[in-house]
Amino acid sequence: MIDQLLNSTSIPLLEKMAMFTERRQNVLAGNIANLDTDNYRMQDLPTADFQHALRAAIQRRNAPGFQQSMNQATPYSESSMGQASFMPKLETAQIPAMTESIDDLFTHDLFQAEEADPDNVIFRDGNNRSVETEMMKMTKNSMMHQFAVEMMSIQMRMLESVVRERV
Amino acid sequence: MLRAIDISTSGLIAQRQRMNTVSENIANMNTTRDANGNPSPFQRRMITFQASATNPDEVAKGVGVQYEIEKDPESKPRMVHQPNHPDADENGFVKYPDINMVKEFVNALEASRAYEANLAALSTSKTMSRASLRILE
């Protein structure tokens, strides 16, 4: 039950975002460490592809079938004794695809760095450094991470107040 | 996230080492003897950087940097006519190390800026991991 409660929020997506920004931080730190390395080329994760995956995941969540299957997944039913109970219906197992996780959208490739900034000047040592670009990327990335973490934290707090039945 | 901190640390170490070679070169600008007291000019040290991994899988995760310090093969001694110098050869020339102050200072400046960049990256990583740890607070 708690799984479905969590999955109905945006926490799974925010989790992916935090994961992505952490990986990206590693790669950007690597770029800065290698600012003076001969023949090193700046690396970056495919941010545009990640945004596409994020959008696809949101669209999938908003699709009517998904919401429906979420509602059916833990039907609230009152037994004849008048006691409320959460009874998973057997046929929920057959509700296809939509409840399945979003992991298939966020493939392994999204978290693999590749050569970036093909327009950068290549210096005589074979390095295409641009300190400003790297620092700017890192700042933006850190803000994205902060956003994801903050939102996650807020959602957690909301769930917590629901559980406690008070704000 | 800890990987990012390790990577930035490797960058810091490499740049500090670069600074060390610069100081070594400047300190030995006029050194005409080796450690045993024999006349042999100091040879300029140079540092080379290389990424700590080259296989694409590792590079895709972000790599640190490693360094190597070698003697500069292109540095030829500077000959100065000083017949009274104890290390002068039979023609009265003394071999001084070929160290260019401007080159060394530019190098030092670059090292210091790169060090700062790594430090900034490190503090960003630190802030990020601290934020992650506080999700449940």
Nearest to B3 among A26, A37, A150 (CB): A26
**pLDDT beyond 70 at B11:** yes
**Structure token pair of residue A1:** 């039950």
Give CA–CA dist A68/A141, Å, rounded: 35
* Non-local CB neighbours of A120 within 8 Å, separated by 6+ positions: A42, A128, A129, A130, A133
Please tell me if residue B131 touches chain A, with a CB cutoff of 8 Å: yes
Are A86 and A74 a contacting pair, CB within 8 Å?
yes
* Non-local CB neighbours of A106 within 8 Å, separated by 6+ positions: A16, A50, A53, A57
Chain A residues with CB inside 8 Å of B64's CB? 30, 33-34
* Non-local CB neighbours of B56 within 8 Å, separated by 6+ positions: none
**pLDDT beyond 60 at A165:** yes
Chain A residues with CB inside 8 Å of B136's CB? 153, 156
Are B71 and B16 a contacting pair, CB within 8 Å?
no
Residue matched to tokens 């925010």: A14
Q: Please judge whether B124 and A138 are an interchain contact, meaning their C-beta atoms are less than 8 angstroms apart.
A: yes
pLDDT in tens, A124-151: 999 999 999 999 999 999 999 999 999 9
pLDDT in tens, A46-61: 999 999 999 998 888 7
**More reliable by pLDDT, A148 or B59:** A148
Q: Which pLDDT score is estimated for A119?
A: 87
pLDDT in tens, A58-112: 888 787 766 555 555 555 554 445 454 454 444 444 444 444 567 888 888 889 8
Helix (H, G, I), strand (E, B) or coil at B52: coil
CB-based burial label for A135 (10 Å; 0-12, 13-18, 19+): middle
Q: Which pLDDT score is estimated for A103?
A: 81
Are B1 and B129 a contacting pair, CB within 8 Å?
yes
**pLDDT beyond 80 at B94:** yes
Q: Using only the alpha carbons of chain B, give its radius of gyration.
A: 21
First to last CA, chain B: 19
